[in-house]
Structure 1
């Protein structure tokens, strides 16, 4: 690696480092293998929608990305710093996710340490394993967000007896940094290391200021090295992935949960403007040079911006992001994770999700919630089912269910999201914490005593859901031909685990629509209203497994069916890559500006639905639609 002696690298120096790292991977700019066939869902772009921005596919349909992070196992050495130990495990996991939840997207974690184990070397064998695992998802129709993951900067900052550990930066970076002995003091949560651990803070401080490190390959700016290996990774993936699979890569999340390491007397907004945004601009340039110019950078704000305590940042000082960057937020309920014992309920997270919507709109781009969730064991985990339910509700619509029918348009766009997380090795790890054979982590996520995985696998490898399927397998609009005007879903998920606990409907129909209220009483149902486009492409919604086509009723201006057929304007087809999961397709005539509506009800059980009831329900639904969404 050539010497980089300035604290701020020139574009030329980054190109020189990139060229060396690309050469170590055996690549040139024109060294592309033959393309192979894959059944992916295609590229998405950030595009306008009324007063906001959304994702759209090649046909102009408004796309909602829904899925999970795969996975926290990337933090573990037992997994080779990848989500899965084998490609077969990745395929098994992808198939289960598709079949059990109808997810259409994943945030796929990789590690800087895995990519660049030495300052002058890219581990292309690691990248080949990652590519094979990514293919397990793209081949089944998933879109993939590539995530460079880090927590507390690096595991190599921690000693063998530490209470905590990290992940991200390679050993050679930490060794060259010469950081103080780490100690968080009396920290109740691992995240407190970002504020209390001098070693963690100093390492982060150096990264954002591109400190020049003396390494075995000569002097190198630490941020320069990071950008060079990221560019090498993206170049390699573009050349090795078949075109259809590469189209399924929605973009790059360049740095998980950025934290400052020191504000130098300024504010979080100052730090984002002076340090974080210049880094993202450099990432954007690296993406363009690597051939990822059509894909957005999914950029995260300062991690503290919406924690509920000591909030800082939020990117309000950086100016418009534009369509080549996405506002990429996480959401965890810091209060209920620590001091607030109250349960979540209808509308609990509407304001929090609306804040994400509004911040993205102010930045001139689309939003994504790339992490959210809560623990599945330990103190307070009894509240998790309805916390997750309420988070999904807030992402579906920023209006509480009890008032949704009276003002659905106020709910905003449906938020795309990936839940943390999906780990098929949950509870079956064997990770030596900080390399210590006396501290073998086996339970939960195998990392910092966390237990967030929504799945586990048995001895035979069969994957099962740990949360109520009604929380995780959700009806959502995966592709809307035109503009979504409003969406809401009543999942009827119980407050406990395994179908236990209380059941309560949150999305309640007003008494002014008695037939609709009777039709959906004690049943799962969803409502989608949208404004059509000039094409006749279908609008698509994932149907949960509880909505068997034969037991699903649809009331719509496009047709009313009691039992969804396999053909026609209202039809059910298999999800890509699955023989058990279905999606509902609604095809409207090409008529830009026309308002459409669909009520989708799980009528598998309960009193049989009559033709007269459906006719009356359609009359009420039509009148409601005309009131709420009058035509131009």
Structure 2
């Protein structure tokens, strides 16, 4: 018997199971429709999430883009026992806000090895139960998650009560067995310098990669137990929303062996670790979910003296669909306050994120930028509005705004990403730094003077954004029926009182320019695959359906109608019941080139204006921009 593609097989299994349940209950298949408010394709689309042909795809074969945040740095603290939240209620509040305020459909969900295995070989099942309950809050809000056993500077237990810095990750028993020197970073202005300058950190990290005393084996066993627990205690529908696992945050050698290069370290130690982790995933029932593997954290550093060769180059095509190329990007020049004067500009990071796209393509898999961000307080915080806008611009397209309209064919894949971070407790912590009652941290993220959370709680306990909503709650193609060819979004976010417009509509498209005006707009070009499934875009809260205009080859209208079968352009709730919305664009035409302009600019365009804009866009798209 010929093997069916994994995606198709998953859909057939789901449909067969649904029919069997209906038959057992004595109802016909037509009676087993989803409840009002749910669309027929919701459950099928959630049934599968895989990597195919270098992109994420769902159970309907649609190209998926993950957008969201890290949840959260609270896991790195002790105040809530290594959990992301103090309670399930807080998790539910955070998840709903991530969806409605932050526009996210995904979360990198941080876990703590130290709390999962507090004593060697002894798993804290109460911790796993609490983690599962909090994760469930996000899954039920329609948010896909990928867990991450997080570590920074190896372990907080390397640091003492008087330390300038702290860490997170490995349990106390690992540190006690290592016999490491009293930590000291010397004159370190940034916590990250400990990675290469603090001998306690470098020696402990080295020991992990060389499996001294079997500590790597212990970590892998704990990870497998955790994955098995999640698979067993989440419902099948919930578990379908867990899209993979990030095995290790920001890996680095600590110190290299004599004559060893960073690339050789990746080949000889990091990649074999990922293969072992992959085997543990399979054993835990995660065989159809990819491992989100990170290269040497300095492989794409934008400071030359920090950059090290890597990017899992020697894994080559071995990555493939069972792995995702997973990387971080921070502008160290901007964060330093020394190496970048002024603000970020249009196209600032096109090359950096283009490198991510190219590396994933070379490895035959999809890419995700699982961390990026910039400090929101401190001496360099004035750069944050432009740095974050430039990063999101490069995540959407590898083309700067100045050249996007003339070269859309070079736009590249829309990258998946999760911003650091989403911590509702920002500014309200009560963390005893390294257990010291005389060093109670309350400000910012309460961790090594960081302050990057996009959200906080106001005095009423309600989540509110700390960054411009126009920047964070973005239009993006969450599921495309076919292949994305190009995408851009002009968010019109602010830097103080200045509106940042980096992708103005060119004068050569006067009708488009007039329709958009000073409003926000996005433009998607895609080639359909003949599917009857809709293409979906997340619709930000700033795009009220009654004031949103869509101009597409599928139609042109101002004011979006609710979804009904047969409507080519419509609006519907996003899964999860949080009130967030999605735009649905449906065409059954096979292999056709489609375009869609979405804007909240002109308040009441005339029918003639809509049709003129449609004709202008059609000619532009047909001529390749």
Are the aligned partners of 1:165 and 1:448 in contact in 2 as well (CA < 8 Å)? Answer: yes
In the aligned structure 2, how far is the partner of 1:42 from the partner of 1:551? Answer: 34
Structural mapping, 1:582-597, within 5 Å: 582-589=581-588, 591-597=589-595
> Take 2:146 and 2:571, find their aligned partners in 1: how far apart are those partners?
28
1:290 is the counterpart of 2:290: no
1:55 is paired with a residue whose SS is strand
Q: What is the rounded CA distance, in whole Å, between the counterparts of 1:362 and 1:399 in structure 2? A: 20
- Establish whether residue 46 from structure 1 lines up as the match of residue 39 from structure 2: no
Once the two structures are superposed, the pairs formed by residues 510-529 of structure 1 within 5 Å of their partners are: 510-529=506-525
Matching residue of 1:314: 311
Give CA-to-partner distance per residue, 1:369-399, whole Å, 9 cap, x none.
Answer: 0000001101110110121111011000000
- Partner residue in 2 for 1:206: 207
Task: State the match for 1:577 in structure 2.
Answer: 576
Distance 2:512 2:227 in 1: 51
1:342, distance to aligned residue in structure 2 (A)? 2.2
Please list, as runs of the form range in 1=range in 2, the aligned pairs for 1:94-243 lying within 5 A after superposition.
94-212=95-213, 221-243=214-236
Superposed, 1:307-346 pairs within 5 Å as 307-309=301-303, 310-312=306-308, 313-320=310-317, 321-338=319-336, 339=338, 340-346=340-346
In the alignment, what sits opposite 1:561?
A: 557
| TM alignment of 1:342-357, pairs within 5 A | 342-357=342-357
Q: SS state of the match for residue 101, structure 2? A: helix
Q: Structure 1's 308 and 579: CA in aligned 2 closer, same or farther, altered over 3 A?
A: closer
The CA distance in 1 between the partners of 2:237 and 2:465, in whole Å, is: 30
The answer to whether the 8 A contact 1:43-1:249 is kept is: no
Question: Offset at 1:487?
Answer: 0.4
Match of 2:253 in 1: 260
Q: Deviations over 1:215-266 (max 9, x none)?
A: xxxxxx0111010111111111101110011110000000000111111122
CA contact (8 A) 1:471 1:493 kept: yes
Equivalent position of 1:530 in the other structure: 526
Q: Does 1:302 align with 2:296?
A: yes
Task: Tell which deviates more after alignment, 378-387 or 571-580.
Answer: 571-580
Per-residue deviation, residues 257-295 of structure 1 (Å, max 9, x unmatched): 011111112211111001100000000010011110000
CA distance in 1, matches of 2:556, 2:528: 18
Q: Distance in 2 between matches of 1:231 and 1:373?
A: 30
**Which residue in the other structure is 1:436 paired with?**
436
Moved over 4 A (4+): 37-40
1:11 equivalent in structure 2: none
2:502 and 2:208 mapped to 1: Cα distance?
Answer: 46
Instruction: Please state how far the C-alpha of 1:579 moved relative to its aligned partner.
Output: 5.0
Residue 413 of structure 2 is aligned to residue 413 of structure 1: yes
Match of 2:30 in 1: none
Correspondences of 1:604-623 after superposition (within 5 Å) = 606=602, 608-623=604-619
Q: Give CA-to-partner distance per residue, 1:443-466, whole Å, 9 cap, x none.
A: 000100100000000233100000
Query: What CA deviation, in whole Å up to 9, does each residue of 1:124-170 have, x standing for no partner?
Result: 10000000001001111110011110000000001110000000000
Q: Distance in 2 between matches of 1:455 and 1:197?
A: 32
Q: What TM-score do you get using the length of structure 1 for normalisation?
A: 0.89
When normalised by structure 2's length, the TM-score is 0.90
Q: Output the CA distance in 2 between the equivalents of 1:408 and 1:179.
A: 54
1:576 Cα offset (Å): 1.6
1-side partners of 2:331 and 2:535: how far apart?
33
Distance 1:384 1:457 in 2: 20
1:86 matched residue in structure 2: 87
Residue 273 of structure 2 corresponds to residue 276 of structure 1: no
Contact in 1 for aligned 2:334/2:383 (Cα 8 Å): no
Contact 1:481–1:537 (CA<8 Å) still a contact in 2? yes
- Write out per-residue CA displacement over residues 182-203 of structure 1, whole angstroms, 9 at most, x where no aligned residue: 1000001101001100000000
Shift of 1:483: 0.3
CA contact (8 A) 2:349 2:390 kept: yes
Cα RMSD of the aligned pairs, angstroms, is 1.4
How far, CA to CA, are the matches of 2:154 and 2:542 in structure 1?
Answer: 42
Task: Decide whether aligned partners of structure 1 residues 98 and 42 sit closer, same or farther in structure 2, where only a CA change above 3 A counts.
Answer: farther
Question: CA separation in 2, counterparts of 1:318 and 1:272?
Answer: 9
- Range with bigger deviation, 391-400 or 301-310: 301-310
After superposition, where does 1:483-494 map in structure 2 within 5 Å? 483-494=483-494
Tell me, in whole angstroms, the C-alpha distance in 1 between the residues paired with 2:61 and 2:534. 11
Counterpart-to-counterpart distance in 2, 1:512 and 1:408: 15
Q: Indicate how the Cα distance of structure 1 residues 251 and 607 shifts in structure 2: closer, same or farther if over 3 A, else same.
A: closer
